[in-house]
């Protein structure tokens, strides 16, 4: 299959891209790397009348840092993050996750903002940003920027909190202290596929941040408050013993096999907290 006929335009500014989106009346889409929209166009699962290229907008390549956060522009690619071409505020977490996304050819083109905007619950950045307590920055041509917590950015599968004329322009990631440790584990049938289950956690005693998450669900990733509190009070080994009960309680609507995969993924992410990759 090939895409249906459509118009192409290259935007030079965020406002220009937003204006074209508004003029499209819901029949226009933006793209950068094209690793999500491309296959959908070829299969004609998406048939926009106009495709707006935002790869060359300077604002979407901005990197801003202060003592609290690092803001990463939406069009930085997975490969650039993997290769350390931007400052990593997470002590190795971001490059580790980027390295496990699909295949290098995909990582060379796919962007962090495109992945988040696509809002596939099984995508790595969706769970990673929720675990880190990141903030999604949205550009609205009429009202300016607005911010949404990453753990609530998905309304459901493939349904982000983005209006038809809005563009995800950056991700703000809290800067980790030297004490921060992390774990990330996903269950896949083979390398390069989307995850069947994701487990992720961070533990930062200096900032008091302890977050444990189960991802690759039918919608937004799920923070596990009981397991997170146990991690804070009693450590990773004890936290791993309460994961199953919390997942069974909060995700009782899922089948037992899926809950088992999620439990294993979270437990293995907790085990990584003492791994040299996260220290």
Q: State pLDDT tens for residues 111-153.
A: 999 999 999 999 999 999 999 999 999 998 888 889 999 999 9
- The mean pLDDT of 89-108, rounded to a whole number, is 96
104 sits in which H/E element: helix 104-109
Alpha carbon separation from 6 to 13, 227, 254 (Å, rounded): 21, 49, 40
Cβ-count burial 102-113 (b if 16+ within 10 Å, e if not): beeebbebbbbb
Res 89: pLDDT:
96
Q: Give per-residue pLDDT as tens, 147-189.
A: 999 999 999 999 999 998 899 999 999 999 999 999 999 999 8
CA distance 279 to 277: 6
Q: Which residues sit opposite 216 in a β-bridge?
A: none
Res 186: pLDDT:
96
Is 103 a residue whose pLDDT tops 50? yes
Is 277 a residue whose pLDDT tops 80? no
Confidence of residue 201 (pLDDT cuts 50, 70, 90): very high
- The mean pLDDT of 87-106, rounded to a whole number, is 96
- Tokens representing 216? 């690759």
Q: Where are the beta strands (DSSP E) in 205-256?
A: 209-215, 222-223
Q: Where are the beta strands (DSSP E) in the chain?
A: 7-10, 28-31, 50-53, 63-65, 69-73, 135-140, 144-149, 154-156, 159-160, 167-174, 181-187, 197-204, 209-215, 222-223
Confidence of residue 276 (pLDDT cuts 50, 70, 90): very low
Structural domains in the chain, CATH included, are 7-52 (3.30.43), 61-174 (3.30.465.10), 181-273 (3.30.390.50)
- Tokens representing 256? 């037992």
CB within 8 A of 109, min separation 6: which ones? 33, 34, 35, 77
Is 76 a residue whose pLDDT tops 60? yes
Confidence of residue 1 (pLDDT cuts 50, 70, 90): low
Instruction: Name the percent of the chain lying above pLDDT 70.
Output: 97
Is 224 a residue whose pLDDT tops 70? yes
Across 34-48, 168-182, 235-249, least confident range = 34-48
- Tokens representing 221? 């990733």
Q: Name the one residue in this structure whose structure tokens are 């096999």.
A: 257
- The mean pLDDT of 253-264, rounded to a whole number, is 97
CB within 8 A of 165, min separation 6: which ones? 18, 21, 22, 140, 141, 142
CA distance 275 to 279: 7
When the pLDDT of each residue in the chain is averaged and rounded to a whole number, the result is 94
């Amino acid at each position: 299959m090939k895409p249906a006929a459509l118009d192409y335009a290259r935007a030079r500014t965020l406002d220009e891209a937003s204006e074209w989106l508004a003029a499209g009346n819901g029949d226009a889409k933006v793209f950068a790397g094209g690793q999500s929209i491309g296959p959908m166009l070829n299969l004609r699962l998406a048939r926009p009348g106009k495709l707006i290229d935002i790869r060359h907008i300077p604002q979407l390549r901005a990197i801003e840092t202060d003592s609290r956060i690092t803001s990463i522009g939406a069009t930085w690619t997975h490969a650039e993050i993997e290769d350390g071409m931007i400052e990593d505020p997470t002590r190795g977490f971001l490059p580790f996750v980027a390295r496990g996304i699909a295949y290098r050819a995909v990582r060379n083109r796919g962007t962090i903002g495109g992945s988040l905007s696509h809002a596939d619950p099984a995508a790595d950045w969706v769970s990673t940003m929720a675990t880190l307590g990141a903030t999604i920055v949205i550009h609205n041509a009429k009202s300016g920027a607005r911010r949404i917590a990453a753990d609530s950015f998905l309304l459901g599968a493939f349904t982000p909190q983005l209006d038809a004329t809005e563009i995800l322009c950056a991700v703000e990631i809290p800067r980790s202290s030297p004490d921060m440790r992390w774990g990330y584990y996903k269950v896949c049938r083979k390398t390069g596929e989307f995850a069947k289950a994701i487990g992720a956690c961070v533990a930062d005693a200096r900032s008091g941040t302890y977050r444990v998450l189960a991802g690759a669900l039918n919608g937004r990733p799920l923070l596990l408050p009981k397991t997170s509190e146990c991690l804070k009070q009693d450590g990773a080994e004890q936290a791993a013993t309460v994961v199953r009960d919390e997942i069974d309680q909060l995700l009782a609507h899922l089948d037992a096999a899926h809950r088992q995969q999620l439990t294993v993924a979270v437990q293995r992410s907790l085990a990584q907290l003492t791994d040299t990759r996260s220290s």
